[in-house]
Structure 1
Amino acid sequence: MNPERRYAPLSALQHFVYCERQCALIHLEQVWINNRLTAEGNLLHEKVHETSGENRPGIRLVRGLSVVSETLGVIGQCDLVEFLSSRKRHPNAAERWDAVRPVEYKRGRPKSHAADLVQLCAQAICLEEMLGIPITEGALFYGEPRRRTEVPFTLELRDTTIQAAQALHALLERGVTPAALYRASLCRGCSLLQICLPRRRETPAQVGNWFRDTLNQLLMER
């Protein structure tokens, strides 16, 4: 690591792709509020990190592995990293791996946005730099379907991740929180909704409609 370099948290990259304003509120203004969704996510991650490592035939599982990337300028932890080896090919080489695969745990279901994909790809780039080996795929484990979504690390996803990291650092260096922009699919589940107030510039009728929609959504979740 370069002691003179400013590294951004891996989580900030996910926040940035999800919503630039949310990212700025958390990482510039140090604002954070838990809601039911974030609390469920925290419990899921705590369960994943209950043990640090585990050996199985042909696989080494490492939880909470600290990673860093000079290319992206990010630092953080991987929920789970799987080190895969073939006993037939390397019977006496415990530290030689055929493949390495990061696995990120998320509550809920697969998302329509790319925030989770970018976060996972950033973990892969960190591991590639640290281990000196190519990593071709990882996985996202979502809590509701309770199954993995395999994620290939394509050139397109890698480019998206690098560009997002560059834009994230530009945001952090500017130190200016972007203006609020209401997007129903993102804002309704955001724990910072009542601080961000993305609809405060809209007309009373629009705000009234939003209030009714939000209330109905909360009642449906009970």
Structure 2
Amino acid sequence: MEKLYSDEELLMISGIQHYYYCKRQWFLIHVEQLWEDNIYTVRGDVLHEKVDNPFILESRKDRFISRSVPIVSYSLGFYGVSDAVEFMVDSEGYYIESKKNYFKVIPVEYKSGKPKKDNCDAVQLCTQAMCLEEMLDIKINHGFLYYGKTRHRQRIELDLTLREEVLELSKAMHQIINNDRIIQPDYCKKCERCSLKNLCIPKTKTHYKSVKNYIKAKLNDKEDLYA
């Protein structure tokens, strides 16, 4: 594949899920380097502590699992770590010299919650698969999303539609960085669950013309309370 991005231009793979869920959330985390925990992020951290150990290598008769696998794609402009990659014996798969055999490569991403109605988790998994494809010069047809709340993993077909979505998201994210754009808050229902709510102050744009007016209104509220 054509190398479109340099090391300095690479973005974190985890950011594509943030960007899909909320562009403002992605901007605060990956551009402004801001972060706060809430119950949802803590649950995710606990789950990943259990699975993200690179020194744990599970092996069975026809497969083995590698955890915390570093991955990168210079055609997409992403880098990061795959929670787990399963290698299953397959005569048409990727040849691993140390194993003296061919293996099908299957990425697995762990999530603490439950399956989503949109593709925010699927695009992250697909991005990981596309990175592995570029690194190993192989084709990956599917991967799995494991959800801690249901303790069940969901098979995700990495079809053309999903891959095109990843490409469009990659282009949009890099354009924002290259053009020094600032993503403004845009309040909606899901803001109430976001750990960055107090940093983002999403209602400043929706209900007020400026941050100055937002602060002024809040000060007036307090004055009325103690009057």
Sort the TM-score into its range (normalised by shorter chain). 0.7 to 0.9
Counterpart of 1:8 in structure 2 is 11
Cα 1:93–1:195, aligned 2, differ >3 Å: closer, same or farther? closer
| Alignment counterpart, residue 103 of structure 1, candidates 105, 108, 113 | 108
RMSD of aligned Cα (Å): 2.5
CA distance in 1 between counterparts of 2:7 and 2:125 reads 26
Structure 2 stretches of 5 or more lacking a match?
209-227
- Residues 34-53 of structure 1 mapped to structure 2, 5 A cutoff: 34-50=37-53, 51-53=55-57
Alpha-carbon shift at residue 201 of structure 1 (Å): 4.1
Q: Does 1:192 find its partner at 2:201? A: no
Shift of residue 123, structure 1, vs aligned partner: 0.3
CA distance in 2 between counterparts of 1:52 and 1:197 reads 41
- Give yes or no for contact 1:25–1:177 (8 Å, CA) kept in 2: no
Higher relative contact order (CA 8 A, sep 6+): 1
Q: Which amino acid aligns with 2:13?
A: L
Q: Which SS does the other structure have where 2:102 is aligned?
A: coil
TM-aligned CA deviation for residue 113 of structure 1: 2.4
TM-score by length of 2: 0.82
Offset of 1:144 from its aligned partner? 0.6
Q: Matched residues in 2 for 1:135 and 1:128: separation?
A: 7
Aligned length: 202
- 1:141 corresponds, among 127, 132, 146, to 146
Query: Displacement, 1:98?
Result: 3.9
For structure 1, which segment, 2-11 or 73-82, has the greater mean C-alpha deviation from structure 2 after superposition?
2-11
CA distance in 2, matches of 1:72, 1:40: 30
Letter in 2 for 1:42: D
Asked if 2 retains the 8 angstrom alpha-carbon contact of 1:52 and 1:64, the reply is no
Corresponding position of 1:60: 64
Asked if the contact 2:141/2:157 (under 8 Å) is kept, the reply is: yes
> Does the alignment pair 1:124 with 2:154?
no
Cα distance in 2 for partners of 1:103, 1:9 equals 17
Residue 75 of structure 1 aligns with which residue?
A: 79
Query: Would you say 1:172 and 2:157 are equivalent positions?
Result: no
Which residue in the other structure is 2:28 paired with? 25
Report the 3-state secondary structure (helix = DSSP H, G, I; strand = E; otherwise coil) of the residue aligned with 1:97. strand
The structure having more radius of gyration, on CA atoms, is 2
